[in-house]
Structure 1
């Protein structure tokens, strides 16, 4: 039996992690969400007794400590795998290049704060809150969901100059993961930054401007991977991510890997 805790589990990739993991009744799955009453996660919990929905906000240190305490009560103080998936972005500025960012201190903070709060600060607080549980677990794995958009070689080859706050945050996350890996190696704990690929998590029909943006990104991404034809679905992404997590060992701890388990096939 394995135990998993996933933050940002109420939608998108996080919810798909939960959906695939609860399919194995031997797993104990902890979905960490800001609103435990949200419809989709509540429906999943009603169908799977091995799913436990826990209230927790990664941007609030007190809240995430309480979530870890609630998790410990369910798992007897142990956790095999922590997946920090929480993410937030300022959508209004996602299309900006760095030279387009405003000469306004408050505006810059508002652009960077959502990503920093969930990825950097939230990553620290979540990891530290759940670390005592992971230390007592069997697999001893911590995974932070990252992106190829934080890989400088990928950026330079594709010319992807937008999504600045998101990419900078994920780059910081990758360094943070490496620091944790260096610190925790003597305890046998493996820490990984994992890119899920180019995943379509849009709910409902896409507006025309989103479709156009996807088409423009595809042309850039094909400079890296000519065979790339479109975004992948969450089911495919998470299935591959779980295989990478399953095979995570000490030699890969501290790295940024793709959902394919390498540092090349990002898409």
Structure 2
């Protein structure tokens, strides 16, 4: 029997992690969400008896500490795998190149804040809150969902100059992961950055601007992956990611790996 806690579980990849892990009745799945009444994940909780909804906001230290306490009450004070999936961006400025950021300290901080708060600060608070449970678990694994958009070689190869705050935050997350791996190795705890691939998590009909943006990004990605045809679905991404998590070992701890389990095939 394995226990999993997933942050940002109300939609997208987080919800799909909950769904796939819950299909094994031997798993205990803790869905950490800001609003436990969110329709998508609450439906999963009603469908699977092994899914437990826990209120928790990774951007609020007290909230995520309370979520860890609630999780401990369910699992007997232990946890096998923590998946920090929460993510946020300032959508209005995702298309900005670095030279387009304004000479305005408050405005610039506001553009970076959503990504930094979820990836860096939220990653710290969530990991530290659940660490006592992980130490008592069997698998002792911590996974942060990151992105190859933070990889310098990918940026240089594709020419992708936008998504600055998101990429910088994920790069910081990757360094933070390596630091955790170095610190926690003596305790037998493995920490991994996991890039889920280029995943279509849009719900409903895409606006024309999003469709155009995806087509533009596809052409850039094809400069390093000519056979790429488009985005993958959450089902495929999560299924492969779960396998990567299952294969985590001392050698991979501290790295950023793709959903394909390597550092080459990011898509």
Q: TM-score range by the shorter chain?
A: over 0.9
Deviations 1:162-212 (A, max 9, x none): 000000000000000000000000011000000000000001111111111
Deviations 1:84-135 (A, max 9, x none): 0000000000000000111111111110000111110000000000000000
Distance 1:19 1:224 in 2: 33
Residue in 1 aligned with 2:138? 138
Shift of 1:34: 0.1
**Structure 1 residue 40: Cα displacement:** 1.1
Secondary structure in 2 matching 1:250 = coil
Alignment length (residue pairs): 267
Distance 2:78 2:51 in 1: 16
Residue-by-residue CA offset, 1:14-42 (whole Å, 9 max, x unaligned): 00000000000000000000000111111
Query: C-alpha distance in 2, partners of 1:125/1:228?
Result: 36
- C-alpha distance in 1 between matches for 2:80 and 2:225: 34
> Offset at 1:224?
1.3
1:76 has 2:59 as partner: no
Runs of 4+ in structure 1 over 3 Å off: none
Please state whether the residue corresponding to 1:252 is helix, strand or coil: coil
Give per-residue Cα distances to partners, 1:246-265, cap 9 Å, x unaligned.
00000000000000000000
> Could you say what secondary structure the match of 2:36 adopts?
coil
Q: What TM-score does the superposition give when structure 1 sets the normalisation length?
A: 1.00
Question: Which consecutive unaligned segments of at least 5 residues does structure 2 have?
Answer: none
Matched with 1:239 is 239
Deviations 1:211-236 (A, max 9, x none): 11000000000111111000000000
Normalization by structure 2: what TM-score? 1.00
Alignment of 1:86-235 (within 5 A): 86-235=86-235
Quote the Cα distance in structure 1 between the aligned partners of 2:225 and 2:134: 36
Find the counterpart in structure 2 of residue 16 from structure 1. 16
